[in-house]
Amino acid sequence: MNLTHLDEQNKPKMVDVSEKGNTARTATASGLIEVGQDAFDAVIANTAKKGPVLQTAVIAAIQGTKQTSTLIPMCHPLMLTSVKTDIEELPALPGFKLTVTAKLIGQTGVEMEALTGVSVGLLTIYDMLKAIDKGMVIRNVQLEHKSGGKSGDFSREGN
């Protein structure tokens, strides 16, 4: 199997998408952060010393989604048409689940953007709570769904 990010001499390259047509593309990714009870309570009560944790994580997730091409070397800069986020409180964990959906009309997919947005959002929660809990665990950062493009649709539920 040939890797698309290697040329004939096995040197890294950015994939040429100039011959691809524009199509509607969507990707949704999610991830979890497990926190201690004190950290969870501080988020819910909005008493974390660094400010509103979940609101800041949403902004960070959007910013991370938009900045993916500056962080991941072979990603194309993309003109995103939408970035949506959702944070679910998981008191039984305790922790939070962050979901990011990225959309565009373009020549390449947005899976990396959704995954990067989730990662940056969860890292922001970690950063804002590390004074309370250094034992937090970020896990299960994964693609949930993608649509559009040559490779077609993918859904974690369907696989």
Residues serving a catalytic function are 127
Cβ atoms of 108 and 15 within 8 Å: the answer is yes
Specify burial of residue 22 (Cβ count, 10 A radius: 0-12, 13-18, 19+): exposed
Cα 52 from Cα 78, distance rounded (Å):
29
